Amino acid sequence: MSNGSAFRTFDRELHAAEAHLTAGLSPETLFGAYMDWAGHLINQPGRRTALLLDFLQDMAILTQQAMGVTTANALQPNPGDRRFNHPGWASYPFSLFEQAFLRAERWWSVATTGIQGVSRSHERMVSFTARQLLDMMAPSNIPFLNPEVLEATWQSEGRNLLQGFSKFVEDMTKQTRELQAKLPLRPGRDVAVTPGQVVLRNGLIELIQYSPLTDKVYPEPVLIVPAWIMKYYILDLQPHDSLIRFLVEQGYTVFCISWLNPSRKQREVHLDDYRKQGVMTAIDAIAAITKARKIHAVGYCLGGTLLSITAAAMAREHDERLASLTLLAAQTDFTEAGELQLFINEAQLAFLDDLMWKSGYLDASQMAGAFQMLRSADLIWSRMVRRYYLGVEDEPNDLTSWNMDATRMPYRMHSEYLWHMFQNNNLAMGRFPADGKPVSLSDIDLPLFVVGTERDHIAPWRSVYKLHLLNPGSLTFALASGGHNSGIVSEPGRANRSYKILERKKGAKYRGPDEWLRVAKPREGSWWPEWTRWLGACSSAPKSPPHIGDEEAGYPPLCAAPGTYVMRR
CA distance 567 to 552: 28
β-strand partners of 300 = 328
- Reply yes or no on whether 301 is catalytic: yes
Query: Which entry of 256, 301, 538, 559 is annotated as an active-site residue?
Result: 301
CA atoms 457, 461, 463, 467: torsion sign = positive
CA distance 519 to 503: 12
CB atoms near residue 90 (< 10 Å): 12
CB atoms near residue 518 (< 10 Å): 9
CA distance 483 to 199: 33
Starting at the edge strand found earlier in the chain, the sheet holding 498-504 runs: 523-524, 498-504, 475-480, 448-453, 322-328, 295-300, 222-225, 254-259, 205-210, 196-201, 559-560
CA distance 369 to 379: 10
Run of H or E including 154 = helix 147-156
User: Which of 351, 365, 437 is CA-nearest to residue 405?
Assistant: 365
What b/e readout covers 311-343, taking b as 16+ CB neighbours within 10 angstroms? Answer: bbbbbbeeeeebbbbbbbbbbbbbeebbbbbbb
Determine the 3-state secondary structure of 291 from DSSP: coil
Amino acid type, 330: A
- CA distances in angstroms from 107 to 51, 373, 390, 413, listed in the order given: 8, 21, 30, 41
What b/e readout covers 220-247, taking b as 16+ CB neighbours within 10 angstroms? Answer: bbbbbbbbbbbbbbbbbbbeebbbbbbb
Active-site annotation, residues: 301
